[in-house]
Structure 1
Amino acid sequence: MTAAARAETARLPLTVIADETMRDLDLRTPPGGEPPLAGPGVIQIGSASKTVWSGLRVGWIRARADLVRELRANPLQAQLSPPPLEQLIACELLGDGLAAVLTDRRSRLRAQRDHLAAHLDVLLDGTAGTYDLPDGGLTIRLHLGTATRAADLTARAARHGLALTPGPHFAADRTTLAHHLRLPFTAGPEALTRAVGLLRRCLAEPSL
């Protein structure tokens, strides 16, 4: 969303839940300068597991103070709290040193995204498969073409030790995106190369 669209949305007379867990993983060069979506009716969600490291399972909610107090009174809140040590680590990382952490993380993700994309270009040459290079985030969405169902391909991949998740798992109705795969580029180049090699092998196998 543009800065103008964000400002207009924040003024709407309704509660807006803004999942901005990926906003800091902007892989454009340079990253965009769009402000966070913020306002009296905005509940903003963030996560250190996306911004910093997947093993740091600490999330947060930014909202009006009265709403935060109401949410803290919910009995489920205590069950979802991460260990205090992890919270202290997150507080330390989200302080003055966050800019350096994000610069390094963006650089690594950008290189891994481009590495995966280069191998996908070779894999998809002459096939019906397509993808769009994302401007940010952690994954590439691969469209396999109508001849290949993602559920069948992931089953074949599992037999070769490659864990994939078919598109319908990310669809609201669990039926669309039947020919899509979500491919993360969070691994290093060597692991990504091996994964695409296994994917090539699975695509060459007939469906059961």
Structure 2
Amino acid sequence: MDATLSARALDTLLGDWRSSGGSAYRALADRIRLLVLDGRIPVGTRLPAERDLAERLGLSRTTVTAAYRELREQHLLHSVRGSGSVARLPGAPAVLPAPPAADYVDFSKAAPPALPWLAEVAREAVDELPAHLGDPGFDPIGTPVLRAAIADRYTARGLPTSPEQIMVTIGAQHAIALLSRALVGRGDRALIEAPTYPHAYEALRGSGARLVPVAVAPHDVGPEGFGPVDEADDLVRAIRHANPVAAYLMPDFQNPTGRSLSAEARERVLDAAARQGTVVVADETTAELDIDRAEHPLPLAAYGNAVMVGSVGKTVWGGIRVGWIRADRPLIRRLLAVRSPGDLGTPILEQLIVARLLGRMDDILELRREQLRAGREHLESLLADAFPGWHVPHVDGGIVTWVGLGAPVSSQLALAARTEGLIVAAGPRFGIDGAFERFLRLPICYPPEVTDAAVQALARAWGSLARTPVPDQSVLAAVV
């Protein structure tokens, strides 16, 4: 059955879509077009009926009808009498999205290519598989060998951990969704950083949370007016005033800004959370991807009570869907109860692969460190030549940089880039309610030839903006 978007839900996604001039139907069509093209309205989603949307937005039905008609003419809606209007992409089937054309450069996924020795390790893991074929294969908590390996890794990093504190998940995103369901009830407040990892705030919203955003400054000083800010004060203040049940943070190499919390900030935030009874969830997906950071703080839970989320998606390969949660045993038991209705466990073979790889994590991190250092220097050099007016933070780890464009045109640039064969994530993808139009997230983890092609396409798209008047920004604000 097709997913259906209610008028209320679409109203929330639209944000402040009304332009100060021009026709309302065109502004509405443009906003919906941007939401479809950037994936906030998934292909195959049934949009609300014209009458319902008109009533919700306080418009005439004629206005909504005209907006939907324009979207159909742009091949972004497929309408069947009596069945409603379904979002689609130009040239794609009416329901199922087509993959990007082979000549597209996808710069929207911040993840490095697979380890060069991954296939070898996978073959070795297959040889171990017969020992596990005598049982049903459903594993909701994780194999003992992998849980022990994850616990040992935390202990080596300065956070003593036992295997009983570990649950293995199907990647970090799965872990965040499980925690959202276990910790958050409808109407509860949940603190997030802004900008932040979009699938995290989507998971919290899906559990009914009311989000409390706290601003995160870019990694270094730039012309956007930000200085080297440690947002501990803002986090502590938000925890005390909003009293959230949960807080989702990325303490190390935050995605997308690249900033890391100091050891002192970690202590202060966890102290405030303990006083209010807030459960802090620390996403460590990129925590060990250090290039040349001056300070090396311990994992967040070493400074107080925090739930840790990790995975191998950014260190090994995104195609190995294994993550984990480190938490106290009572929460692990709650997570098991939450998990069982949705899935029956993490694939055994992938767990065997990861258990082998964790023993070689120092070698993996050394390889990634050199790749990221080279990728950072290469991207910085290309951007400095092509876009001298942009501010490109010199990040000291992680997989992305949060580029300041100097103008609120991120959404328009992302759309223009598509016509040049480049898929890139606009700044508002990482915020809520259309924020961060002055920023663009760019990965530093791609091979040089891919980065070259991406920057060349980005330069062509930027040039096309210079030749086109910038439309009213309220029309652009919701690309995600």
Q: 1:114 aligns with which of 361, 367, 377?
A: 377
Q: Name the aligned partner's letter for residue 435 of structure 2.
A: T
Q: Which residue of 2 aligns with 1:174?
A: 433
Q: Which residue of 2 aligns with 1:72?
A: 336
Q: SS at 1:181's partner residue? A: strand
Q: 1:151 aligns with which of 411, 428, 436?
A: 411
Structure 1 vs Structure 2: percent identity of aligned residues?
A: 36
User: Is 1:45 aligned to residue 305 of structure 2?
Assistant: no
Q: 1:57 aligns with which of 309, 318, 321?
A: 321
The structural deviation recorded for 1:10 is: 4.3
Change (3 A) 1:77 1:58: farther
The structural deviation recorded for 1:76 is: 5.6
- Report if aligned partners of 1:71, 1:77 keep a CA contact under 8 Å in 2: no
Taking the aligned partners of 1:28 and 1:50, their CA distance within structure 2 comes to 18
- Report if aligned partners of 2:401, 2:442 keep a CA contact under 8 Å in 1: yes
Q: 2:455 aligns with which of 193, 196, 201?
A: 196
TM superposition score normalised by structure 2: 0.40
Q: Which residue of 2 aligns with 1:142?
A: 403
The structural deviation recorded for 1:2 is: 2.8
Q: Residues 77-113 of structure 1: CA distance to partner in whole angstroms, max 9, x if unpaired?
A: 752844221122112111x211111111111111111
The structural deviation recorded for 1:133 is: 1.4
Q: SS at 1:74's partner residue? A: helix
Change (3 A) 1:77 1:102: farther
Q: Which residue of 2 aligns with 1:186?
A: 445
Change (3 A) 1:61 1:175: same
- Report if aligned partners of 1:166, 1:178 keep a CA contact under 8 Å in 2: yes
For structure 2, the residue ranges without an aligned partner over 5 or more in a row are 1-260, 470-480
Taking the aligned partners of 1:44 and 1:60, their CA distance within structure 2 comes to 8
Q: 2:386 aligns with which of 119, 123, 128?
A: 123
Q: Residues 172-203 of structure 1: CA distance to partner in whole angstroms, max 9, x if unpaired?
A: x2311112111112210111111111111111
Taking the aligned partners of 1:175 and 1:183, their CA distance within structure 2 comes to 19
Q: Name the aligned partner's letter for residue 298 of structure 2.
A: P
> What is the RMSD of the two structures over their aligned residues, measured on CA atoms?
2.2
Q: Which residue of 1 aligns with 2:351?
A: 87
- Report if aligned partners of 2:420, 2:460 keep a CA contact under 8 Å in 1: no
The structural deviation recorded for 1:207 is: 3.5
Taking the aligned partners of 1:90 and 1:160, their CA distance within structure 2 comes to 38
Q: 2:362 aligns with which of 77, 99, 103?
A: 99
Q: SS at 1:130's partner residue? A: coil
User: Is 1:17 aligned to residue 281 of structure 2?
Assistant: yes
Q: Which residue of 1 aligns with 2:201?
A: none
Change (3 A) 1:80 1:204: farther
Change (3 A) 1:82 1:207: farther
Q: Highest Rg: 1 or 2? A: 2
- Report if aligned partners of 1:152, 1:207 keep a CA contact under 8 Å in 2: no
Moved more, 45-54 or 9-18: 9-18
Q: Which residue of 1 aligns with 2:85?
A: none
TM superposition score normalised by structure 1: 0.87
User: Is 1:6 aligned to residue 275 of structure 2?
Assistant: no
Q: Name the aligned partner's letter for residue 72 of structure 1.
A: L
Q: Name the aligned partner's letter for residue 284 of structure 2.
A: E
The structural deviation recorded for 1:156 is: 1.3
